Structure 1
């Protein structure tokens, strides 16, 4: 190896080591309990082609290429992952995929950083959306765009508003997998009893408060929203406002948080006002607790992931009618929309080339309309492939759960811009924790809205700048 190549290799190793050390601190501080995993392609005729190999993966029936897939989908959703893998393995004799559950997103990422660059990690890893900047900066991945271009894969068949989150500098770095966004869940039965229109959920902050006032009686609260950093991020986006500078971290590395600006104070003044008016119940950070209260009829409105819909409807049964509405926005806000949540699939570049190509074959299979239809119905996450909505399975599911149409409409009506693509920063898990602490301080009266957000903005900015020094 010549001196220049040694230098490049050494620089890459230093970057990985620094990022790994920083990640250890980030994952130790991130909340983990409210990640969207715990709640949210080409046509099938394309699924046999491999980039640059005319459909040949390099394996054969007696010696198939093994692809290791690390994921964070537990329970019934994990069973849906296993089904996708089994269907792919039945369809191919030259490739075999092994799916291995690695625990929460943070746990999986921690395990991956230990294996990073050693050749002992997975071929494919599922990483939550707020880990995107870290994954790119790690230099440990092969951008998905490389396989897309080599295969002439038609990205127009996938949902543009979902691809937007994972696209940087014109390149798709990972393939969206489990995707959701937040919606308003409301009790139509309580709406009727309060004299409210059950088919017309509140759309603005003032409408939410007015409805909550009418609904709060007889031991029932009008609303309960979990103290969740993801909700704060979304409530910036519906205003068309960016969360960090430099185009939300998409036109260059973010250098500072914008938390304490007008967008943030508008959200928290509204939230605090409803708490102080005793029309909203504070149940802390867990969306599981707000869901439990909603399902029991103790609160009339909550915010939660679209991926929670099936579980909520099944749990409520016939005790009341569940309605869904768009995520509320401040009065007069028109240029925004929601950000997709969930996770995406990355291919690791320390695996042999033929193994990476085999991983791409599996990913193409997963995003085919038929498999996306199955995934949507059995996981509650969005299909990322447009043609999946034409599948009989999806049509039947929308008839059974018409409330999901709200989520689809909200996704399609969101304007795609830097605000709705979502913020990007290397310390996002830790930033989310800091935001949640600030929200608690405001709600509990420990600090004013302005002071809590200013303190959090300063702390996040300092951590962003410390992170940037490790990658510049």
Structure 2
């Protein structure tokens, strides 16, 4: 799958297309602007005192006395970056054959652009963290060695990996990258406002209609019922929760996606409901920034919002003693819908323009990061999901769950999701720009445009951009 003979032809074409895509979406506050998960700020998840990871060992390298150097590019800024740096320090201290150097490269978009620019000079990383919507590009670039190659070579046991997490990064039965930071969206609600509005704080809304009913009840208290950021990730999640694909060809997994399905029944139903919430004043529109809705929620101004599970600790700690934070599954369009949520976040990719021993060393570091004890440390200090089920047996995770019982909602929602093409997540080479176009359609609907017409325009634009991208892959 390396296709080295094609890379010098294919990569420049792909890079030119993707540079246009990234520049087009650079203004988004949600599209990986600072190393975020699906939701926004890269520093939103980490709070509280740092806890030490358990002692671990690793092996790898050439055995000639000189450690193999692995350069890891990542997009974990702020407090998240400190946790990532601690993981590297612990790995390096655990053995002497491999030395990992972690380098923060800015946002996901910035890091990916730097990787593209480095390919011919080979000055780039051995290992890179790439957001989930960059997966199609990474595969098409021919610049990576799928982790499946290392899994097969040593019979590495993947049975404890969360299937709904690993599933996103699996194509045609092959796992291309290793999940690292993972989240999904949940409903956050103010239990105090629920009580004041005469609502049952232990029975949060589960459907679109129940969201509106609860929001209108909260409005009577003088507060605003809800606010959901205009974020394309949420639209994608509402599709999955209805069990519907976002693009054709099995959500781009049975073949390259060629058509956006944003304007299908699932999209129209979602945007019609969302627009009605705003038009009826059950919800207030605070724009594209998830941080703005989060601030309003923490100020007690709105009763409900959507945000990433990685925001949970920050939201619970931010609410403090002012009000009790409740959490619930992402609402469904209809109670009978059989769907679930898609994971967000990023994964780790091994670059194939590095010597074999360096790639193997990168794999050793990946295995260290995937260990249950490492994942336990990562989870409790960031709020991201552990990628392995065994991490939940760690006493630190058990204690953290007791301190933050709201996180059980996130875990239950992940485990309740059946892996289908809808919940596995769409893949397309122009995903960042597609999110921007979806957000534009939502804004247009809020501004008075018919939801179907707004989605028709966006879907056609996305389809056209997919066609342009696909020509670089299959000229």
**447, 451, 454: which one pairs with 2:453?**
451
**Matches of 2:55 and 2:175 in 1, distance apart?**
22
1:315-354 pair list within 5 angstroms: 315-354=318-357
Report the equivalent of 1:183: 186
SS at match of 2:152: helix
Instruction: Give a deviation string over 1:245-273, Cα, whole Å, max 9, x none.
Output: 00000000000000111000000010011
1: CA distance between counterparts of 2:374 and 2:248?
Answer: 38
Q: Does 1:70 align with 2:94?
A: no
Q: Is the 8 Å Cα contact of residues 184 and 341 (structure 2) preserved in structure 1?
A: yes
- 1:154 is matched with 157
| Aligned pair partner of 1:33 in 6, 29, 36 | 29
Moved more, 132-141 or 209-218: 209-218
SS at the partner of 1:343?
strand
Output one character per residue of 1:391-432: Cα deviation in whole Å (capped at 9) or x when no partner.
011001000100000000000001100000000000000110
For residues 4 and 404 of structure 2, what CA distance do their matches in structure 1 show? 52
Contact 2:60 2:364 in 1 (8 A): no
Asked whether the 8 Å contact 1:184–1:325 carries over to 2, the reply is yes
CA distance in 2, matches of 1:459, 1:16: 24
Q: Give 2:232's aligned residue.
A: 229
Which of the numbers 7, 17, 23 marks the counterpart of 2:18? Answer: 23
Q: How is 1:408-447 mapped onto 2 (pairs within 5 angstroms)?
A: 408-445=411-448, 447=449
Q: Aligned with 1:272: secondary structure? A: helix
Task: Give the TM-score normalised by the residue count of structure 1.
Answer: 0.94
Q: CA deviation at 1:10?
A: 5.3
Whether the 8 Å contact between 2:56 and 2:91 is mirrored in structure 1 is: no
Contact 2:61 2:67 in 1 (8 A): no
Aligned to 1:58: 62
User: What does residue 220 of structure 1 align with?
Assistant: 223
Cα distance between partner residues in 1 of 2:164 and 2:341: 9
Relative distance call for 1:460 and 1:106 in structure 2 (3 A) is same
Question: Quick one: distance in 2 between partners of 1:56 and 1:121?
Answer: 21
Partner SS for 1:237: helix
Whole-angstrom CA distance in 2 between matches of 1:164 and 1:32: 27
SS in 1 for 2:182: strand
Q: TM-score, normalised by structure 2?
A: 0.93
- Alignment partners' CA distance in 2, 1:64 and 1:11: 32
Is residue 2:252 matched to residue 1:257? no
Task: Find the aligned partners of 1:290 and 1:56 in 2 and give their Cα distance.
Answer: 46
**Which residue matches 1:108?**
111
Is the 8 Å Cα contact of residues 240 and 333 (structure 1) preserved in structure 2? no
Q: How far apart, CA to CA, are the structure 2 residues paired with 1:47 and 1:179? A: 24
Please say which of residues 328-337 and 204-213 is displaced more in the overlay. Answer: 328-337
* Alpha-carbon distance between aligned partners in 2 of 1:376 and 1:136, rounded to the nearest angstrom: 28
270 and 362 in structure 1: CA distance in 2 versus 1, 3 angstrom threshold? same
The gaps in structure 1 that reach 5 residues or longer are: 1-7, 49-54
Distance 1:202 1:260 in 2: 26
**CA offsets 1:144-199 (integer angstroms, 9 cap, x no match):** 10011111111111100101100001100000000000000000011011111101
State the distance in 2 between where 1:355 and 1:309 align: 37
Contact 1:59–1:65 (Cα < 8 Å) also in 2: no
The 3-state SS of whatever aligns with 2:159 is helix
Q: Report the secondary structure of 1:156's partner residue.
A: coil
Partner of 2:302: 299
Query: How many angstroms apart in 2 are the aligned matches of 1:277 and 1:47?
Result: 58
Q: Say if 2:168 is the partner of 1:165.
A: yes
- Kept in 2, the 8 Å contact 1:12–1:139? The answer is yes
Q: Aligned residue for 1:355?
A: 358
Once the two structures are TM-superposed, the CA of residue 92 in structure 1 deviates from its matched residue by 1.1
Q: Distance in 1 between matches of 2:8 and 2:222?
A: 59
Do 1:287 and 1:304's aligned partners in 2 also have CA atoms closer than 8 Å? yes
Give me the whole-angstrom Cα distance separating, in 1, the residues matched to 2:7 and 2:173. Answer: 23
Name which of 242, 245, 249 aligns with 2:245. Answer: 242
Q: CA deviation at 1:56?
A: 4.3
